């Protein structure tokens, strides 16, 4: 599915988020504070849109993804970034390799959330950190109602106008609705071995950035 939508993936993300993706990305980059010498693993990096600002700041970034189509598009768009094919559930790196692991809008697509978090923990250095960026649950009941109507009705219709693979965006809407809320995801992270789990809501909780230490 991701192979098929790779070519227009970044464009559609910007469109369907009403331009919010860049704002979210900028905020996460500030939170991570990348710098030269910092080793970062960007899991489920797709075309590398989340990796690019980290690499631009001088960090040593590895962009990992399971989709060949996403990797090919990423290498075409961002040849300066190191792209690696890999499985979030079985990362091909030694223990304690990275200062930071991050996964943006990809944890939701893994088959086993807890296993993905445990693997990220394994390859993160002691006292290193993780940043999980995911769609979440709006904190306002009224806004949440409007948001859910957008996800289930408008988003798939808009996607059909711009892609030949609208089923991918039906899946997107359904997977967002089924995703754990902020507190529940925090609990899963804690049970997976991460400590000092916190989160910050972006755009009224449409997106949440969960952070934790090893």
pLDDT at 113: 96
pLDDT at 89: 98
CATH 3.90.870.10: does it fit domain 2-137+181-213? no
pLDDT at 13: 62
In the chain, the percentage of residues whose pLDDT exceeds 70 is 80
Residue-wise pLDDT for 152-196, tens only, equals 666 666 666 666 665 656 667 777 778 999 999 999 999 999 999
**Three-state helix/strand/coil letters over the chain:** CHHHHHHHHHHHHHHHCCCHHHHHHHHHHHHHCCCCCCEEEEECCCCCCCCHHHHHCCCEEEEEECCHHHHHHHHHHCCCCEEEECECCECCCCCCCEEEEEEECCHHHCCCHHHHHHHHHHHEEEEEEEEEEEECCCCCHHHHHHHHHHHHHHHHHHHHHHCCCCHHHHHHHHHHHHCCCHHHHHHHHHHCCCEEEEEEEEHHHCEEEEEEEC
pLDDT at 142: 82
Residue 26: pLDDT over 90: yes
Q: Where do the structural domains in the chain lie, given as residue ranges?
A: 2-137+181-213
Of 35-44, 61-70, 134-143, 167-176, which gets the smallest average pLDDT?
167-176
pLDDT at 167: 64
d(C-alpha 104, C-alpha 51), whole Å = 10
Q: Residues 6 or more apart from 188 whose CB is under 8 A from it?
A: 113, 114, 117, 180
What is the overall mean pLDDT for the chain? 88
pLDDT at 133: 96
Tell me what the mean pLDDT of segment 54-81 comes to. 95
pLDDT at 20: 82
Tell me what the mean pLDDT of segment 119-136 comes to. 97
* More reliable by pLDDT, 167 or 141: 141
Q: Parallel, antiparallel, or unpaired: how do β-strands 98-104 and 60-65 relate?
A: unpaired
> What is the pTM assigned to this prediction?
0.88
Tell me what the mean pLDDT of segment 33-58 comes to. 96
pLDDT at 178: 84
């Amino acid at each position: 599915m991701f192979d098929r939508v790779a070519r227009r993936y970044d464009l559609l993300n910007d469109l369907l988020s009403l331009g919010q993706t860049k704002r979210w990305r900028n905020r996460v980059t500030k939170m991570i504070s990348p710098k030269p010498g910092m080793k970062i693993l960007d899991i489920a990096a797709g075309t590398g849109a989340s990796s690019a600002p980290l690499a631009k700041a001088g960090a040593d970034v590895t962009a990992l993804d399971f989709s060949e189509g996403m990797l090919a598009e990423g290498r075409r768009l961002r040849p300066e970034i190191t792209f690696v094919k890999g499985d979030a559930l079985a990362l091909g790196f030694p223990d304690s390799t990275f200062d930071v692991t991050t996964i943006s809008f990809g944890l939701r697509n893994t088959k086993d959330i807890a296993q993905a978090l445990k693997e990220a923990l394994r390859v993160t250095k002691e006292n290193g950190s993780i940043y999980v960026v995911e769609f979440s649950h709006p904190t306002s009941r009224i806004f949440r109602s409007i948001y859910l109507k957008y996800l289930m009705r408008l988003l798939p219709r808009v996607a059909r106008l711009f892609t030949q693979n609208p089923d991918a965006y039906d899946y997107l809407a359904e997977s967002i609705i089924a995703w754990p809320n902020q507190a529940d995801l925090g609990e899963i992270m804690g049970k997976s071995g991460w400590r000092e789990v916190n989160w910050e809501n972006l755009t009224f909780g449409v997106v949440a950035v969960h952070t934790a230490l090893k």
